[in-house]
Amino acid sequence: MWELVGYDGGTQDRNVKFPTGDSRIKFEASCKRTKTPSQWVKDAICATETFPGGRNANVYELHLLDNADKHTVITPTLRASSHPPFSVLNAKGELVVRMENNLFVGGGAELVPLAVLPVGCTIQFDKDAECPLSIFFSQPGGKVASPAIATLKLYSRAVIETVEMIEAAVPC
């Protein structure tokens, strides 16, 4: 935003920030307050729709994450694990239940029980099975316990698309 406003000959001061809003009305009002001489800058920013429910809601969520009090609002990591498919077998080796596509999430010292097995039952994982640890975080904006890497990739793509959208609006 700093570069865009400077490119246009606008005011580059400590108050320059990418406009956001928690509604279309507040977002558009924030765009109109941008200190820049050209209407095309305000129009380009407004076209990004950086508000909940707008086409760029992910950048709005990133804004919330960036501005949140990270010591009280955001839980940086949770213990979480998905598991590979496995079978529970009874004492005779017969299938009791097949478990797959589950995700278990717990925080701190919590342990999330996978299952309570009757006496004599065993667990048999599929060949070459691994149980990877996943990292999740909760955040402002309603996304609770979202996978950290996937969410950050989503935000990265949203920022790239926003920059490309604004670059396309720059007059030649």
Q: For the residues 111-133, what does the mean pLDDT come to?
A: 69
At residue 37, does pLDDT exceed 70? yes
Percent of the chain exceeding pLDDT 70 equals: 72
Contact 120, 91 (CB under 8 A): yes
Instruction: Please report which confidence band the pLDDT of residue 61 belongs to, taking 50, 70 and 90 as the band edges.
Output: confident
- Predicted confidence at residue 104, as pLDDT, reads 60
Average pLDDT, the chain: 78
Does pTM surpass 0.75? no
| Spatial separation of the C-alpha atoms in residues 50 and 19, rounded to whole Å | 8
| Spatial separation of the C-alpha atoms in residues 94 and 58, rounded to whole Å | 48
Q: What are phi and psi of 42, to 5 degrees?
A: -60, -40
Between the alpha carbon of residue 39 and those of residues 15, 67, 110, 117, 153, the distances in Å are 19, 28, 54, 67, 32
Non-local (6+) Cβ contacts of 158 within 8 A are 56, 58, 59, 62
Of all helices (H) and strands (E), which one includes residue 157?
helix 148-169
Rg, C-alpha atoms of the chain: 24
Q: For the residues 28-34, what does the mean pLDDT come to?
A: 92
At residue 157, does pLDDT exceed 60? yes
Can you give the residue ranges of every domain in the chain?
2-71+147-169, 75-138
| Spatial separation of the C-alpha atoms in residues 109 and 107, rounded to whole Å | 6
Encode pLDDT of 80-121 as tens digits.
456 778 888 888 999 988 888 766 655 544 445 555 677 788
At residue 28, does pLDDT exceed 60? yes
CA 36, 41, 47, 51 dihedral sign is negative
At residue 30, does pLDDT exceed 90? yes
| Structure-token pair, residue 52 | 């909940």
